[in-house]
């Protein structure tokens, strides 16, 4: 790390990925900071810097200080990956401790507690927050959990037969029991007792929502462009395959058909949205949602758009910049069965296919809103086409080039800007800051993980 980079970090102050320590006065506090960085996005601990961003330097023996940092790191279990650098900044010696982010399916503890970064502070997580952390890391998996109160008698054998027919195994149950089916498909286990996993209830139960009320799907058609006047609504309370079918049928029923008159005697009819896009969006919402959440999938139809919202953000294993290019399953067992039944294909091509279908229909790309708790896809019809950026008069040619890059690739990093325009890192940062001032770009994340997207998008 270069001195000018360190100065830039110091000037930016403490953030989710940066913390200052005036000195190594408490091994416990350093351990907590390292633990929190590893559990969040990784980060940098600068020793010899005051909370007021003053470069004070360190007075302790360097070798002793490095040993103390190593001991503090080893107090965190499992031990995070760190590197320690010694730097001279404005004639003062400081230590830079770079902490790597842990893998998405693991976590670190200090004295048995989990610490994370919230803003610029280190916080211990307990109770419900603790559970949510484990769920987000997919350490606690809904698909792998058991519903101990659910029995074989509550399984709808006809739904199992439907699945077996699709798989061309119609005669399976003539020579095997229902227990055999569940065990062979890793839907149950038999140790001291026979236990059934949650996906069985989602896929094959006689009454899915009796056990999991959150599995219901809410469908509403509104008059106009606001969620005020309801024209039609339905609450689907079925197993997932049947819920998908009913949800698609409801939306299709309430879509407008456009009639195209050509020179041929036969007129052409087509829906205001491509039906394959509707289907893909609904299947994704039901298959990839967070079933630990008590909220349901919501499908709202407006005059100018359709909004499909499901609980759960992107899985931690799927960075935002990779969204739409690879397939990552939050519910792998449930997903596997839906794939076997032909609802999903699992190749990571769904989003590109949706975009292509919308473009071929003369419509704008699907719009995605991703928060910490929810995922929403918005499909705009011809009435709701998004306007392009109105004016580029305030931008330089470099900035216009970068803006076109963002529109094509959805985001840009400062380093990418330098390579794209062959300018220095400092120039790239200045240009990007201007673009944010003009209202073209918005910053997402901090320090190393920071990237920039179009204003108004996530």
Residues 6+ apart with CB under 8 A from 23: 47, 48, 58, 59, 60
Which has more pLDDT, 38 or 260?
A: 38
Class of domain 214-384: alpha beta
pLDDT of residue 450: 87
Whether the predicted pLDDT of 391 surpasses 50: no
Fold exhibited by the domain 3-136: 3.30.950
User: Which range (72-86, 303-317, 375-389, 409-423) has the least confidence?
Assistant: 375-389
pLDDT band at residue 346 using 50, 70 and 90 as cut-offs: low
Q: What is the mean pLDDT of residues 364-369?
A: 90
- Per-residue confidence (pLDDT) for residue 266, from 0 to 100: 61
- pLDDT higher than threshold 60 for residue 386: no
Q: Which of 386, 352, 376, 359 is nearest to 273 (CA)?
A: 359
Q: Is residue 417 pLDDT above 50, yes or no?
A: yes
pLDDT tens, residue by residue, 99-110: 999 887 788 999
Q: Do domains 3-136 and 397-454 have the same CATH topology?
A: no
Tell me the three state secondary structure of residue 361. Answer: coil
Alpha-carbon distance of 297 to 308, in angstroms, equals 7
251-262 burial: b if 16+ Cβ within 10 Å, else e: beeebeeeeeee
Residue 387 banded pLDDT, cuts 50, 70, 90: very low
Q: Which residues are CB-neighbours of 81 under 8 A, at least 6 positions away?
A: 38, 99, 100
Q: What torsion, rounded to 10 degrees, do the Cα atoms 352, 353, 359, 363 define?
A: -100
Angle CA(397)–CA(398)–CA(400) in degrees, nearest 5? 60
Residue 390 has a pLDDT of 41
Count CB atoms within 10 A of the CB of residue 324. Answer: 18
DSSP string, 62-121: HHHHHHHHHHHHHTEESPPPEEEEEEEETTEEEEEEEEPPPPTT---EETTBEEEEETTE
Distance CA 149, CA 355 (A): 43
The answer to whether the CB of 155 falls within 8 A of the CB of 163 is no
Q: Mean pLDDT over residues 64-87, rounded?
A: 95
Round to whole Å and give the CA distance between 274 and 291.
28
Q: How far apart are CA 263 and CA 420, in angstroms?
A: 49
The dihedrals phi and psi of 273, each to the nearest 5 degrees, come to -130, 150
Query: Looking at per-residue confidence, does 437 or 11 come out higher?
Result: 11
Q: CATH: 3.90.960.10, 1.10.10.10, 2.60.120.260, 3.40.50.10260. Which one for 397-454?
A: 1.10.10.10
Say yes or no to pLDDT of 385 above 50. Answer: yes
The domain limits of the chain are 3-136, 152-206, 214-384, 397-454
How far is it, in rounded angstroms, from Cα 331 to Cα 214?
Answer: 15
pLDDT category of residue 347 using cuts at 50, 70 and 90? low
Between 308 and 192, residue with greater pLDDT:
308
């Amino acid at each position: 790390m270069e001195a000018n980079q360190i100065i830039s970090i110091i000037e930016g102050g403490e953030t989710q990925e940066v913390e200052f320590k005036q000195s190594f006065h408490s091994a416990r506090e350093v351990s907590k900071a390292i633990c929190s960085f590893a559990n969040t996005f990784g980060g940098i601990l600068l020793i010899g810097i005051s909370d007021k961003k003053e470069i004070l330097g360190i007075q302790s023996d360097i070798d002793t200080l490095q040993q103390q940092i190593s001991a503090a790191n080893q107090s965190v279990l499992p031990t995070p990956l760190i590197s320690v650098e010694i730097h001279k900044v404005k004639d003062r010696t400081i230590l830079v401790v770079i902490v790597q982010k842990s893998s998405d399916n693991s976590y670190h503890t200090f004295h048995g507690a989990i610490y994370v970064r919230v803003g610029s502070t280190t916080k211990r997580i307990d109770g419900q927050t603790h559970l949510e952390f484990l769920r987000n890391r997919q350490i606690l998996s809904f698909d792998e959990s058991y519903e101990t109160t659910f029995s074989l008698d509550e399984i709808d054998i006809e739904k199992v037969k439907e699945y077996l027919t699709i798989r061309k195994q119609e005669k399976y149950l003539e020579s095997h029991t229902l227990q055999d089916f569940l065990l062979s498909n890793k839907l149950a286990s038999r140790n001291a007792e026979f236990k059934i996993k949650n996906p069985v209830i989602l896929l094959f139960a006689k009454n899915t929502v009796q056990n999991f009320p959150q599995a219901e799907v809410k469908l509403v058609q509104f008059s106009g462009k606001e969620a005020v006047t309801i024209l039609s609504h339905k609450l689907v309370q079925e197993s997932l395959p049947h819920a998908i079918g009913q949800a698609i049928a409801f939306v299709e029923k309430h879509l407008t058909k456009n009639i195209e008159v050509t020179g041929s005697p036969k007129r052409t009819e087509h829906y205001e949205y491509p039906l394959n896009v509707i289907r893909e969006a609904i299947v994704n919402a039901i298959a990839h949602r967070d079933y630990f959440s008590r909220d349901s999938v919501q499908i709202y139809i407006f005059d100018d758009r359709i909004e499909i919202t499901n609980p759960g953000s992107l899985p931690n294993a799927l960075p935002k910049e990779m969204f739409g290019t690879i397939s990552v399953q939050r519910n792998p067992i449930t997903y596997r069965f839906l794939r076997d039944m032909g609802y999903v294909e699992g190749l990571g091509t769904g989003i590109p296919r949706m975009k292509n279908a919308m473009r071929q229909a003369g419509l704008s790309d699907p719009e995605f809103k991703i928060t910490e708790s929810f995922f929403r896809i918005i499909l705009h019809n011809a009435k709701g086409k998004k306007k392009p950026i109105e004016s580029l008069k305030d931008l330089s040619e470099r900035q216009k080039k970068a803006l076109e890059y963002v529109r094509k690739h959805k985001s840009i990093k400062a380093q990418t800007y330098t390579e794209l325009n062959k300018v220095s890192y400092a120039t790239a940062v200045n240009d990007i800051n201007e673009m944010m001032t003009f209202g073209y770009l918005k910053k997402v994340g901090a320090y190393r993980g920071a990237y920039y997207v179009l204003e108004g998008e996530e």
